[in-house]
Every structure is written in C-alpha cells, then in structure tokens.
Homo-oligomer: A and B are copies of this chain.
Amino acid sequence: MSYCYDYPRPAVTTDVVVFTIREETLQLLLIKRAAAPYQGCWALPGGFVEPDESLEQAAARELEEETGVAGVYLEQLYTYGAPDRDPRDRIISVAYYALVPSDRLQLRAASDAEDVRWFGFDALPALAFDHDHIARMAHERLAAKLDYSTIALQFMPERFTLGELQEVYETILRAPQDKRNFRKRILALEAIEATGERRRNGAHRPAMLYRVRDPQRVAIIK
C-alpha cells in the first residue's frame, strides 16, 4: 500500500517535552532511539500524526504510549521545520510540552526496559535532531509562565505543603524565593486552599497540607 500526491509532502510529527520534578530537580523524559537516524541516541518522545487525530491528540497519544500518563497539562510550544533538521526526509515537528505531577511519574512497564528514562534537565545527554533546542525553548516558556500564570500547580500531587510548592518554583527558576513573600503571593491568588490536615515529616513542626482548587484550570495572573 502506498499513498501518492501531486506534490512532495513533508512528514509531520509531534515531539513532547515531558517535564516533572523529583528530588528537587527538574526532570525530562527521553527515549533511546531504536532506528536510524541517530540510532541509539536519546530523543524526545514523539511520532507521526495520524490522519484522523488532531495535533494535540497526537501529542497526548505519544505521551501516554511512552509514560502511561494521561490527562496532564499539555500545551503547544512551537513548530520546527528547517529543511535539514532531519538528515533523511523533510520532517516538520509540532512540539508540545507536558507537565507531570510528581505522584504520577511511574513509567508504564510496557515501555521496554531501559529505553525510556528521566534525566535531570542539567544533566541531559546529547540529543537527536534539534531536540536540545526544543527542550531549551520549552524550559524558557515554562519559566516565563511561572511569572504570569498558575502553571506550577500542574506539578503538584493531590496534597502538598507550601514548602514543597516553593521548591518547585525555585527549581524551575533556579533562584531562591523569599519564604514570606512567596506565601503571601501564592495565597493571594486563591488558587489553592488549606485542607486542614497536617503532615508530620521529621523532627520539626508539621506542615499544613494544601490542595489545588481547580486542578484543570491554569489561570493567567495580572
């Protein structure tokens, strides 16, 4: 079976920059390429867009195939189409980025063993194609959005402390935040609420647990 057209057509893929935060580091999901080009090289998860799915559906499908997670935050980043970005064929990639809460990052067993792994964003291996460029742009977008949206809440598990949330901000922004100003600012958004429960977590005072008010919604601030 083959599909024929009057003019040459590029192939269209989606690539997904999957972020999570674990152990106070920003992590990124990569897969090891099984086929040429860049065989054996690490790359962003992604694949061809099917005829009957939207671009976002394609990205969500790739994400679920690699990680088993669904329903997480997913946003279109940019479309990359330099003619030589793939050495063999003309491939246009619509890149998305996804944020996975830290309590849902267990990779599905289905993903064949060692071919899928989390990497610290500061310790990435060499990446295939222009994927390092895509990953950098995704990080810039994410850091920018911290300032004018509630996007960081997408990383949080069901219950979390303000200290944990602050660590998320500090990890992405690579800068310490003032504790009192941070709490004032976050609580003023009214995007999270105290649960009333506390978490005892070592030799110190227990912390109040919070939850996100509307977990789906990413509000724009100001």
Contacts and interface: CB of A to CB of B under 8 A. Distances in A.
Contacts of A207: none
A3 B8 contact: yes
Given A4-B2, A4-B4, A55 B81 contact: yes
B5 A3 contact: yes
Contacts of A52: 83
Given A2-B5, A3-B5, A55-B81, 16 more contacts: A2-B6, A4-B4, A4-B5, A5-B11, A8-B51, A9-B9, A10-B49, A10-B51, A49-B92, A53-B83, A54-B81, A54-B83, A55-B79, A79-B79, A92-B92, A92-B94
A48 interface: yes
A82 interface: yes
Nearest to A94: B79
Contact of A11 (B2, B9, B49): B9
Given A4-B4, A7-B3, A10-B12, A55 B90 contact: no
Contacts of A54: 81-83
Contacts of A81: 12, 49, 54-55, 94
Contacts of A11: 5, 9
A86 to B, nearest CB: 13
Contacts of A92: 12, 49, 55, 92, 94
A25 interface: no
Interface string A61-87: 000000000000000101101110000
